[in-house]
């Protein structure tokens, strides 16, 4: 038994448990340690990773033999960089929590750390039941965070979020069990992904199970028309948690498509992919249009996430011969996480300069007295709109390239989204930073401690813009073989 | 005369006393508890009697473990002691032990007389044991009545409270209708099969499957047992009785009676009636769907926690029927596993309700939980874990319970039942999470609302009694003093004075920990459940 990945996954939760019993001032510091160690370990893994060697750092132990569930974890090209993203964003959120400690911080840190553990677990799980377990678990801490520390009608927002997403998850639970049972009828039950991949189901069986899985992931993203829970939850969730939730948790859904749906249901993917592509394009257009009509800064970001995740879905289901769409989707998952998290922190900083208002109509002229903040915001905003030179540009370019080579009409519609992205990103930037000084605005420069949160994230964006190839190389082989299996 | 006696001794069946020992322990313990309960000393009545009850239950469990794997018919094959019987025995004992802890400071046991109260509880457990061990229709009915009659009384033990009496009467009347239905059905089965032993029924089940008498008999038996298991549409008594009965009794009924009812359903239907599956399986599958829907929808609007848990128990019964209906050893194992975890999940919840009932004077209303998360972690977390587990969240035993059941359903072509379970669980989120929200996301009521609660307490209301008694005062006797004492600082009534009740908190925390433990590593419990499933050798 190798325990490397177990440490990576459970260390945050362990530290979270410790911080739950710590005094208020100490709790975020302990959380900081809990996020720092996994981050350091991930960086080590990135340097150590061998792109050609398939699954690495494998932990494979019997867990529940009665149900054929194994405790199997592993790192491959698909999840390596997503894990890095998780650790980076979690670390940034932990720094933020140390600077601005919420009340009952111990419990907050516990929930947050549990969330990180669940996300990491979902990324490294190589067993379907284990994935479902972590995927469902992900929701619990955020339910408590929204319900206890949220603003506005938090209990209702929390309930809405849970019911929406768990309905999908429960269907996925049933579908996962059905997949395992049907793939080896009468034989030994096994949820291990490689076993399931070896005994693919018939096309008619795949069709129905695909729907359950797709529903769970589309709700989680969220994609049109399943975004109903998003506005309330985004409006209510505390910003450090929201940065992590929007930046990372939604990527688990995208990862689920690449890791589970395509390999396990290749025939059904071929049958359904047009529907998924249409939903993706609608998500792009709907999300973009909403993003430049909303005035609440959180919702602008929320709807822009819908658009961005639409791009990611588009790339995954483009299923072009060379797998460029899916590669772009993987890259874009990391990019979007990296840009949306700092944007939420920026929103928090903006709100501090406008009497707590998160409405961009109350903003304006903030850049004048906060040039560093403005510069950082500008970099992130440009990355969001996929400025050439940013990694987002590379990601969107690959996605559209893939889409053009398989479904031209939809790709054309989707490329409108690229233009719209610049509209909403720049609108938000200009409305807050430039223009006349808003009625509520009293601007001041960001502090060094806020810089500790934002600067590393911005540096990561820049680094990634320079070397997107790193992530692409790691995932290329896996992504390509996944797409080829569907095309076959 | 002597000749007759001699003849009788020669005809007496050989009895495996070792296998019978758990039954004997319960009978003996019940008698001792009843006699010791006559003592005048308050110490003996309030402390020694519960301890004796616990010892009896512990002995029963120990003897059960000792007899594990014997798997044989005893007393002329009228009863079967096998791993299914013994696994269910453990469940009854667990429910009983928790009920004793919850009753320790309860006003109900004091009003009924501790000796009687605990002896009745032991007799009821004996009835459950006989019921699930029965291998003969007559023994089945004896067990059924032995289980029910003490419970009718136990429900009414909170004698100065109207709802408790109402609950007991209601349970008596509806339970009697259920018993009569069952007895009628048993008579028909006997008429059709020509014998009361399960072996006789099994021998004719295949050829009689389409026989009208036999079918009607099966239908009536099914209805009678469905009353006890609170399967819709025979569940209407459940919310009223659960709400009215003293909370420790409710907790005991909810877990142990349910397990006993499912035990006998498994034993009878998946045993001798297995060859008539085509007759009863569609009926049961239909009932499962109705039960899941009725239970989950019914629970939605409840503000009384006990009523909510009553409907939730109906829904959970629906999930478990799915495991029975598939008629495989896997299905039985899944059902037994689910029963076991159902016990711990519910007991944690009932323990918290009991604790808050004594502290707040709000009864079992959901508002009694407001603000619990802020300052009572040892009550808040067990309640949270219990609710999340009942809803089937991961890292609680409920998650694997659902996977196990769905797995069993899909495995034998009942995939659609798996979907119904999932849909039911989705509905159930709304009411389980409402409780979680009450614990964590609502503020404790301010002093202004608590003023209105004072008259409730002063009027000698049941909830006030419970609180006063648990705090160490004699109920009712000192109404005036309660008022004068509490009027000065009214806030303590709703936010709850902390009453020392370590045993209740122990039950809550212990059950929550077990729920988590089996959610992380369910293997040991699954082994037991599999052994229980394999006891039914007629199945694959």
User: Where do the domains of chain A lie?
Assistant: 4-487
Confirm or reject contact between A72 and chain B (CB < 8 A).
no
Nearest to B441 among A104, A140, A154 (CB): A154
Task: Using CA coordinates, name the residue in chain A closest to B441.
Answer: A148
State the smallest CA–CA distance between residue A432 and chain B in angstroms: 33
d(CA B309, CA B348): 12
Q: Which one of A110, A151, A181 makes the best mutation probe of the B interface by having the most chain B beta carbons within 10 Å? A: A181
Token couple for A48: 């150590």
What is d(CA B322, CA B417) in angstroms, rounded to the nearest whole number? 7
Residues, chain B? 540
Which chain B residues are within 8 Å of A170, Cβ to Cβ? Answer: 392, 422, 425-426
Task: Flag if B422 and A163 touch (Cβ within 8 Å).
Answer: no
Tokens for B91, please give them: 């469940």
Is there a contact between A66 and B526 if contact means CB atoms under 8 Å apart? yes
C-alpha A184/C-alpha A195 separation (Å) is: 9
Q: What is the pLDDT of residue A93?
A: 94
pLDDT of residue B446: 62
Write the residue in A65, A178, A182 that is nearest to B523 by C-beta: A65
Q: How many angstroms separate the CA of residue B238 from the nearest CA in chain A?
A: 27
CB distance B407–A189 less than 8 Å? yes
Q: How far is A267 from chain B (nearest CA, A)?
A: 21
How large is the angle between the packed helices A408-433 and A266-291, nearest 10 degrees?
A: 30
ipTM: 0.91
Partners of residue B418 in chain A, C-beta under 8 Å: 174, 177-178
Please, are residues B331 and B349 in contact by the beta-carbon 8 Å criterion?
no
Which residues in chain A are closer than 8 Å to B521, comparing Cβ atoms? Answer: 63-64
- Name the minimum distance, in Å, from the CA of A61 to any CA of chain B: 13
Q: Do A177 and B526 touch (CB under 8 A)?
A: no
Name every chain B residue with its beta carbon within 8 A of the beta carbon of A237.
none
CA separation for the pair B133, B74 (Å, rounded)? 9
Cβ–Cβ of B403/A67 closer than 8 Å?
yes
> In the prediction, which pLDDT does B501 show?
87
Q: What DSSP line would sit under B428-492, residue for residue?
A: HHHHHHHHHHHHHSSPPP-HHHHHHHHHHHHTT-HHHHHHHHHTTPPTTTTHHHHHHHHHSSTHH
Tell me the per-residue pLDDT of B2-37, one tens digit each, with 9 for 90 and over.
555 555 555 677 888 888 999 999 999 999 999 999
pLDDT at B478: 39
Q: Most B CBs within 10 Å: which of A113, A146, A177, as the mutation test of the B interface?
A: A177
Is A64 in contact with B395 (Cβ distance < 8 A)? no
Place of tokens 């008594």: B237
- Chain A: residue whose CA lies nearest to B385: A140
B425 contacts A64? CB cut-off 8 A = no
C-beta atoms of B410 and A189 within 8 A: no
Which residue positions in chain A have pLDDT lower than 50?
Answer: 1
Q: Which residues from B are below 8 Å from A133, CB to CB? A: 394-395, 399
Contacts of B73 (CB under 8 A, 6+ apart): B79, B80, B135
Report the residue from B333, B388, B437 with minimal CB separation from A159: B437
Please report how many Cα atoms fall inside a 13 Å half-sphere around the Cα of residue A154, on the Cβ side.
Answer: 19
Nearest chain B alpha carbon to A186: B411
Contacts of B422 in chain A (CB under 8 A): 170-171, 173-174
CB contact under 8 A, B422 and A173: yes
The 10 Å Cβ neighbour count of residue B464 is 25
Helix and strand element counts for chain A (H, E): 21, 2
Residue boundaries of the structural domains of chain B: 18-442+503-534
pLDDT of res. B468: 58
From chain B, the residues in CB contact with A104 under 8 A are: 374
The reply to whether residue A137 touches residue B406, judged by beta carbons under 8 angstroms, is no
Note whether A182 contacts B410, CB cutoff 8 Å: yes
Cβ-Cβ contacts under 8 Å between A and B: the total is 92
Question: Which residues of chain B are modeled with pLDDT < 70?
Answer: 1-11, 446-497, 539-540
Interface residue A103 vs chain B (CB under 8 A): no
Digit-coded pLDDT (tens) for B38-50: 988 888 888 899 9
pLDDT of res. A485: 84
Q: How far apart are CA B441 and CA A232, in angstroms?
A: 16
| A residues 37-66 lying closer than 8 A (beta carbon) to B | 63-66
The minimal CB distance from A137 to the residues B395, B440, B523 is found for: B395
Do B399 and A133 count as a contact with CB atoms less than 8 A apart? yes
B393 contacts in A (CB within 8 Å)? 136-137, 140
**Residue B503 CB: number of other CB atoms within 10 A?**
17
Are B433 and A129 an interchain contact pair (Cβ–Cβ within 8 Å)? no
CA distance B425 to chain A (A): 8
A177 touches chain B (CB under 8 A): yes
End-to-end CA distance of chain A: 36
pLDDT of res. B406: 92
| Eight-class DSSP state of B44 | I
Q: b/e map of B194-212 (b: 16 or more CB within 10 Å)?
A: eebbbebbbbbbeebbebe
Of A67, A155, A189, nearest to B437 by CB-CB distance is A155
Q: Inter-chain contact B426–A167, Cβ cutoff 8 Å?
A: yes
* A170 at interface of B, judged by CB pairs closer than 8 A: yes
Here the tokens at position A80 are 């390596």
Provide the shortest C-alpha distance from residue B89 to chain A (in Å).
23
Phi, psi for residue A71 in degrees, rounded to 5: -90, 85
For the beta carbon of residue A44, count every other beta carbon within 10 angstroms.
11
**Nearest CB to A170; choose among B400, B426, B430:** B426
- Label residues B214-223 b or e (16+ Cβ within 10 Å = b): bbbbbbbbbb
Q: Please answer yes or no on whether B441 and A166 come within 8 Å at the CB atom.
A: no
């Amino acid at each position: 038994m190798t325990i490397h990945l177990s440490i990576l996954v459970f260390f945050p939760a362990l530290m979270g448990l410790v911080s739950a019993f710590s005094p208020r001032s100490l709790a975020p510091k302990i959380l900081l340690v809990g996020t720092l160690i996994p981050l350091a370990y991930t960086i080590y893994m990135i340097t150590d990773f061998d792109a050609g060697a398939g699954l690495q750092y494998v932990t494979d132990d019997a867990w529940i033999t009665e149900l054929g569930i194994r405790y199997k974890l592993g790192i491959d090209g698909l999840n390596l960089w997503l894990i890095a993203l998780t650790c980076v964003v979690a670390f940034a959120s932990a720094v933020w929590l140390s600077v601005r400690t919420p009340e009952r911080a111990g419990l907050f840190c516990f929930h947050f750390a549990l969330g990180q553990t669940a996300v990491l677990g979902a990324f490294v799980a190589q067993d379907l039941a284990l994935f479902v377990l972590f995927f469902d678990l992900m929701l619990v801490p955020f339910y408590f965070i929204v319900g206890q520390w949220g603003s506005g009608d938090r209990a209702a927002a929390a309930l809405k979020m849970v019911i929406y997403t768990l309905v999908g998850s429960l269907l996925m639970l049933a579908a996962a069990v059905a997949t395992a049972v049907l793939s080896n009828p009468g034989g030994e039950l096994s949820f291990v992904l490689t076993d399931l991949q070896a005994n693919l189901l018939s096309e008619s069986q795949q069709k129905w199970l695909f729907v359950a899985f797709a529903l769970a992931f589309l709700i989680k993203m969220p994609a049109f028309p399943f975004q109903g829970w998003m506005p309330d939850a985004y409006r209510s969730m505390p910003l450090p948690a929201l940065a992590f939730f929007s930046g990372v948790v939604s990527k688990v859904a995208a990862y689920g498509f690449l890791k589970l749906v395509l390999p396990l249901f290749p025939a059904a993917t071929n049958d359904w992919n047009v529907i998924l592509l249409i939903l993706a394009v609608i998500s792009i257009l709907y999300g973009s249009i909403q993003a430049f009509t909303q005035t609440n800064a959180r919702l602008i970001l929320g709807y822009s996430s819908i658009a961005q995740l639409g791009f990611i879905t588009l790339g995954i289901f483009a299923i072009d011969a060379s797998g460029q769409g899916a590669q772009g989707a993987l890259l874009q998952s990391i990019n979007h996480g990296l840009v949306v998290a700092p944007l939420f922190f920026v929103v928090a900083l903006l709100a501090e300069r406008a009497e707590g208002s998160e409405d961009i109509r109350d903003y304006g002229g903030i850049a004048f007295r906060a040039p560093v903040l403005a510069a950082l915001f500008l970099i992130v905003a440009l990355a969001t709109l996929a400025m050439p030179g940013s990694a987002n540009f590379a990601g969107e370019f690959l996605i559209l390239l893939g889409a053009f080579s398989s479904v031209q009409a939809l790709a054309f519609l989707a490329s409108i989204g690229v233009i719209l992205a610049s509209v909403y990103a720049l609108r938000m930037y200009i409305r807050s930073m430039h223009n006349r000084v808003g009625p509520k605005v009293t601007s001041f420069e960001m502090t060094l401690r806020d810089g500790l949160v934002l600067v590393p994230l911005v540096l990561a964006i820049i680094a990634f813009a320079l070397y997107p190839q790193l992530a692409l190389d790691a995932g290329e082989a896996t992504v390509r073989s996944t797409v080829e299996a569907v095309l076959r | 005369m002597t000749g007759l006696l001699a003849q009788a001794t020669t005809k007496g069946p050989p009895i495996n006393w070792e296998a019978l020992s758990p039954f004997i322990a319960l009978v003996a313990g019940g008698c001792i508890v009843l006699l010791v309960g006559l003592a005048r000393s308050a110490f003996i009545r309030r402390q020694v009697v519960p301890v004796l009850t616990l010892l009896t239950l512990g002995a029963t469990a120990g003897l059960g473990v000792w007899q594990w794997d014997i798997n044989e018919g005893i007393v002329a094959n009228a009863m079967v002691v096998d791993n299914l019987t013994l696994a269910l025995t453990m469940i009854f004992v667990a429910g009983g032990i928790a009920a004793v802890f919850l009753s320790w400071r309860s006003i109900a046991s004091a009003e009924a007389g501790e000796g009687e109260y605990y002896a009745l509880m032991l007799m009821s457990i004996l009835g459950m044991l006989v019921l699930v061990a029965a291998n003969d229709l007559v023994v089945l009915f004896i067990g059924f009545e032995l289980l029910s009659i003490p419970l009718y009384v136990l429900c009414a033990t909170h004698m100065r409270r109207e709802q408790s009496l109402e609950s007991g009467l209601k349970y008596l009347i509806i339970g009697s209708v259920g018993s009569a239905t069952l007895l009628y059905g048993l008579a028909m089965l006997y008429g059709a099969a020509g014998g009361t032993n399960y072996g006789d029924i099994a021998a004719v089940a295949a050829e009689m499957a389409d026989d009208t008498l036999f079918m009607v008999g099966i239908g009536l038996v099914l209805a009678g047992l469905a009353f006890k298991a609170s399967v819709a549409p025979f569940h209407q008594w459940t919310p009223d009785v659960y709400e009215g009965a003293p909370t420790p009794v409710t907790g005991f009924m909810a877990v142990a009676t349910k397990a006993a009812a499912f035990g006998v359903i498994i034993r009878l239907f998946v045993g001798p009636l297995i060859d008539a599956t085509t007759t009863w399986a569609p009926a049961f599958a239909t009932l499962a769907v109705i039960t899941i829907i009725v239970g989950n929808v019914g629970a939605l609007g409840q503000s009384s926690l006990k009523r909510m848990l009553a409907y939730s128990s109906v829904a959970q019964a629906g999930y478990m029927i799915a495991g029975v209906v598939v008629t495989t050893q896997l299905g039985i194992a899944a059902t037994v596993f689910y029963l076991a975890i159902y016990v711990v999940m519910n007991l944690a919840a009932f323990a918290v309700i009991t604790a808050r009932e004594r502290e707040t004077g709000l009864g079992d209303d959901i508002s009694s939980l407001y603000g619990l998360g802020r300052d009572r972690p040892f009550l808040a977390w067990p309640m949270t874990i219990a609710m999340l587990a009942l809803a089937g969240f991961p890292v609680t035993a409920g998650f694997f319970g659902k996977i196990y059941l769905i797995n069993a359903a899909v495995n034998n072509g009942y995939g659609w039942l798996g979907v119904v379970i999932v849909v039911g669980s989705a509905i159930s989120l709304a009411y389980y999470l409402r409780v979680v929200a009450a614990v964590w996301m609502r503020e404790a009521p301010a002093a202004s609302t608590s003023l209105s609660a004072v008259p409730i307490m002063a009027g000698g209301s049941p909830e006030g009694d419970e609180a006063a008694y648990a705090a160490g005062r004699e109920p009712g006797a000192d109404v005036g003093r309660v008022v004068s004492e509490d009027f000065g600082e009214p806030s303590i009534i709703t936010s709850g004075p902390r009453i020392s009740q370590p045993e209740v908190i122990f039950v809550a925390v212990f059950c929550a920990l077990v729920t988590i433990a089996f959610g992380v590593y369910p293997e040991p419990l699954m082994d037991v459940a599999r052994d229980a499933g394999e006891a039914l050798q007629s199945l694959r």
